[in-house]
Amino acid sequence: MPSLHRVRSLIGLLLGLLLAPTVRADEGSEFFIKRIKPILVERCLACHDPSTKKGGLDLSRGETARTGGETGPAVESGDPDASLLFEKVSAGEMPPRSPLDPADVSSLKQWIASGAKYAEEPLLARRAGPDWWSLRPIASPEVPSVRRGDWVRNPIDAFVLARLEKEGLTPSPEADRATLIRRLSFDLTGLPPTPLEVEAFQNDPRADAYDRLVDRLLDSPRHGERWSRLWLDAVRFGESHGYETNALRPNAWPYRDWAIRAFNTDLPLERFVAEQFAADQIPGADFLSQSATGFLVGGVHDVVGNQSPEGMKQQRADDLDDMITATGSAFLGLTVHCARCHDHKFDPIPQKDYYGLQAVFAGVEHNDRAVPAPDAEKRRKERPAIADALARVEVQLDGSEPLATPGSSVAARAPVHPGRNVERFTPVEAKRVRFTIRGTIGGSEPCLDELEIYSSGETPRNVALNASARASSTYEGNPIHALPHVNDGKYGNSWSWISREPGAGVVEVELPEKVAIDRVVWGRDREGKFLDRLASDYMIEVATDDAPWTVVASSEDRAKVGGEAVAAAETPERQALKAKRDELRARLAAGADTIPVYAGTFATPGPTYLLRRGDPMSPGEEVAPSGLTSLRPRLVLSTNAPEAERRMALARWIADRENPLPPRVMVNRVWHGHFGKGIVATPGDFGFNGDRPSHPELLDWLARSFLDNGGRLKPIHRLIVTSAAYRQSSQLNESGIAVDRDNRLLWRASPRRLEAEAIRDAVLATSGKLDLRRGGPGYSLWEPNTNYVVVFKARNDLGPETYRRMIYQFKPRSQPDPTFGAFDCPDAAQVSPRRNSSTTALQALNLLNSRFILDQSAAFAQRLANEAGDDPGRQIRLAFPLAFGRDPTEAEMASALPLVIEHGASALARAIFNANEFLYVR
C-alpha cells in the first residue's frame, strides 16, 4: 500500500499537470531561464554535463539532449510522453535518491510540450553529483602508446607525453647534472647539496648514478623534515591556541616529530591514518605514535571561552567544525565544512553527513594528555629519590620564610605570586583549615591549583592531600575546575578549582585527624601559564573540633602586587638552596613516567543533533556517527557506539581501498610538492569548485600504484623524480608558451621559488651554521613573557640554539617568523593545502637588512676566510659552489672582486642571499 507521502506527491503531480497553463512562444525564453535552466543546472548536469556524460547523456545543449545517450534520445520535441527524460523524472527515478518536486516535473512537461528549446547554451553545472570524477572508483588505466617511446623512462612519461603529442608539443631536453642534483636535493630534503656532493654526482660514470642519488636522498632523515612541513600546513599545525589571548601550547611539538618520523619511515596509509585518529587504541603504540592524535586538536581553540549556554555550545560546535574541516581537506580533498548549515551547495554532501562526522568527533576535547614516556620505567625508579630531595630542600627554604603576622599592616612579606606562596606560622593543632578569599587581581573568580597543608616536625608531609574538602561555590560548566582538584597533588590550571563568585570564595579542608601544622602553601597556576584569578586579599584560619576558628595568616602583611618590593633576606646558603630546588624541580618534571602532550582527551559523547541552519540552539533530529554517503564503502555506526570505536571506524573507512579519495589526494600532494602544482591544482578541494585534473588517467594510475605499494609514498616519490618529465630542463620555447603558457602539460620544468623554510635552512647551510639536531621542543624566536594576552616580541639575540632547521621553530599562530614569514608562510589559523608564492619588496628588504641575514652574512664571510684564506678571489671561487653548486663565471668574478675588496666578503654574502639563483630551483 503506498505511503501517505507518496499519495500526496502523486496528487500534487497530477494537479500540476492538469492545471498548468501552456507556454506561449513569446514567453518561451523567459520560462526556460526562470524555470527550466535551474532544474537542469542544479539537478541534472552534475551527472550529465559534457565532462561527465553519465550513460552517454549530455543535457548541456539542445542538440545533445535530443541525440541522447546509451538508451536513446532524452527529449522528443513536443511529445513529453515519448521523452525518456520526462519518463524518468515523473517516475521519481531521476535524479537518483532525490526526486524532483511535482512542480518541477510539471514545468519540464510544459517545456518539452512547447518544443524543448534551449534559450541559452551550453548550460554549465553548478554542483557535482554522486558520479563526480573524484568520487568514482579508482580506475586501472592502460599506459598509453606514444610516438617518441625513447623519451619514456617510466609510465609517468607515457601519460605526460601522450598529452603533449596530442597538443603538438615536445618535451624539453634533460637538465644538466648540476641543476638536477640541486633540484632533487631541495625537493627531497629541503637542503642544498654540498659542493662535494655536486662534484661527486657530476663525475659519477655509473649508469645508475641518478637512481643512487635518489635513493640516498629518500633514505636521508632530512626527507621527513622537508615533507612533513607540507603535511603540517595541510593539517593547520600550530603551537598556540589562537584567538585573542593566543596562549602557547608548549606540549604540541611531539605531533610535529611524529609527522617527521612518519614520512621518514614511509608509514603505510592505513597506519598513517589510524595513528592520527586513534593511536590511543593501538596496542604497542609508542610515545610519538600516541602523540599523533594531536592532529585532531591541532587547530585553534578559545581557552577563554564563553560562559553563557549559547556561547559554550557555539564554541564546542566551532571546535568540532575545525576537526571536520581538517579531516575533509587533508584526507578527502573535500570542503565538508560547507555542509554545516545546509546541504553543500556544490558537492554531493548533505547536511546530515556533516553531523554524522561531528558525531564521530563528539568525544574529543582540546587538552593535554599524559602519554607514557619512552623511558617510563627508568623514570619511575628514579623519581622517589628526586621527590624526597626536593621536599627536603623546600622545607629548608620554607623555614627561612618570614612568619605571617595576621593583623599587621607592615608589608613584611613578598607580594602574592601565581606560582607558589608560603604561609608560615608557629605550629598549631588543627583538624580543619579554611582559606577565605575576599579579593582577586582584576576582580575575577579566584582560582587555586593546589592547597597544601604541612605537618610540623622533622618529617613534614602534606596532610591535605586527598582529604575531605568543601567550597562555598564552584565554577560551573567546566569539569577541569572542579573542587577535588584543589588537593589532588596535581599542579596547573588543568587541575584547579575556581569559585563561581567574582572576587570571593571559600575552601575548607577537613583533615583525617588532628595534627600540628606550621605551613600552608598555595598557588594559582604553578605551571606559570596563567596570571589571572590570583587571590590578593585573603585569610587562612585553623580550628579543632572543640575550638573556634583562629586566623594564622593573611594577605595583610604582604606587599601589594606591583607595589614596592620587599627586600629579601638573601644569603649565599639560600641562593644555593634555590638553585638546587630549581634543578630538582626540572629533573622531577622531566622525569615523570608520562609526558603531557597536546593530543586531546576523550570522553563518552552525548547525542549529536543536526543543527538547523548550523545554530547550536536549534537542534533537529539525532544523527548517528557516519562517513559521507556519496563515498564507498559506507560508514554508519549506531548512536550509542563507544567513543573510541567511532574514531577507529572513521580511520578504517578513510584508509579503505574502496575509498577513492585518500589515494588520489595523497599522490596529488606529492606531485604538487615536486612540480609546484598538483595534477589537481587545488590539493584540498577535489569537489566542484576545485580544479579539474590536468592528467586524470595519470592521477588514477599513480593512486593505483600507491595502493599496490601498500599505501607508501616513497615509491611514488621515486617514480616521479626518476621520470623524464621531472628531469627536463626549464628552458623556454615559443610553441610551448603559445599552447600552454602555465605549463600544465609539463613540456618543461617550471622554475620554483623555495619555501620560506628551505630559504632559511639554505642560508644556514651556506654560512656553515646549520645545526642538524633532530626532534624535541622547538627553539623560539620570541622573548618569553607571561602576559594573559601573549605578546610576541622578536628576540635580538638569535644565538646558535636558533640555528636548527626551521621545521623545529616554535610556531605560534598569527605570528610569522620576523624575517621569513614574508615568504608566504601559513599562519596555521586554518588548513593550508598549498602556499602562495608572492614577490614583495618586504622579502628583499628582509633578505638584505634583517638581523638574521646580517649575522649569517658575517658567518659566511668568516667561513670563506677560514676555508679559503684572505685572498678575495679564492673566497669568491668558494662562495659560488657553496651557494649555487657551480663555479662563478668570468663576468661574476669581475663584478664580485671589487665588492669584496672594498666592502668585505659579508657584502658578497648578502648579495648571494638575495640572488634569484639562490632563492629558486629550476
Q: Is the pLDDT of residue 707 over 70?
A: yes
Spacing of C-alpha 645 from chain mean position: 23
Q: Identify the weakest region by mean pLDDT among 15-29, 300-314, 713-727.
A: 15-29
Q: Which helix (H) or strand (E) holds 507?
A: strand 505-523
pLDDT tens track for 344-385:
989 999 999 999 999 999 999 999 999 998 887 888 888 888
List the helix and strand counts (H, then E) for the chain.
Answer: 30, 16
pLDDT computed for residue 564 by the predictor? 53
Cell output for 612: 538547523
Given pLDDT bands bounded at 50, 70 and 90, which one contains residue 17?
very low
**Predicted TM-score of the model (pTM):** 0.77
Q: Is the pLDDT of residue 322 over 70?
A: yes
Q: Are 552 and 404 in contact (CB under 8 A)?
A: yes
Average pLDDT over residues 461-467: 90
Task: Residue 22: count other Cβ atoms within 10 Å of its Cβ.
Answer: 8
pLDDT computed for residue 97 by the predictor? 67
CA distances from 5 to 89, 94, 479 (A): 17, 18, 47
Q: Which ranges in 693-822 belong to alpha helices (H)?
A: 696-708, 714-721, 734-739, 756-767
Q: Please name which of 726, 620, 843 lies closest in space to residue 186, comparing C-alpha atoms.
A: 726
Q: Is the pLDDT of residue 827 over 50?
A: yes
pLDDT computed for residue 125 by the predictor? 77
pLDDT tens track for 873-914:
999 999 999 999 999 999 999 999 999 999 999 999 999 999
Q: Identify the weakest region by mean pLDDT among 225-229, 283-287, 566-570, 729-733.
A: 566-570
Task: Residue 731: count other Cβ atoms within 10 Å of its Cβ.
Answer: 12
Given pLDDT bands bounded at 50, 70 and 90, which one contains residue 449?
very high
Do the strands 594-597 and 535-543 form a parallel or antiparallel pair, or are they unpaired? unpaired
Average pLDDT over residues 479-502: 89
pLDDT tens track for 63-101:
999 999 999 999 999 999 999 999 999 999 888 867 888
Given pLDDT bands bounded at 50, 70 and 90, which one contains residue 569?
low
Q: Is the pLDDT of residue 862 over 50?
A: yes
Which amino acid type is present at position 274? A
pLDDT tens track for 413-442:
989 999 889 999 999 999 999 999 999 998
Average pLDDT over residues 3-32: 49
pLDDT computed for residue 570 by the predictor? 65
Task: Residue 901: count other Cβ atoms within 10 Å of its Cβ.
Answer: 11
Residue scoring higher pLDDT (193 or 389):
193
CA atoms within 13 A on the CB side of 290: 19
Given pLDDT bands bounded at 50, 70 and 90, which one contains residue 409?
confident
pLDDT tens track for 789-819:
999 999 988 999 999 999 999 999 999 999 9
pLDDT computed for residue 18 by the predictor? 38
pLDDT tens track for 150-165:
999 999 999 999 999 9
Residue scoring higher pLDDT (52 or 691):
691
CA dist 678 and 684 (Å) reads 10
Q: Identify the weakest region by mean pLDDT among 122-131, 184-193, 303-312, 708-717.
A: 122-131
Average pLDDT, the chain: 92
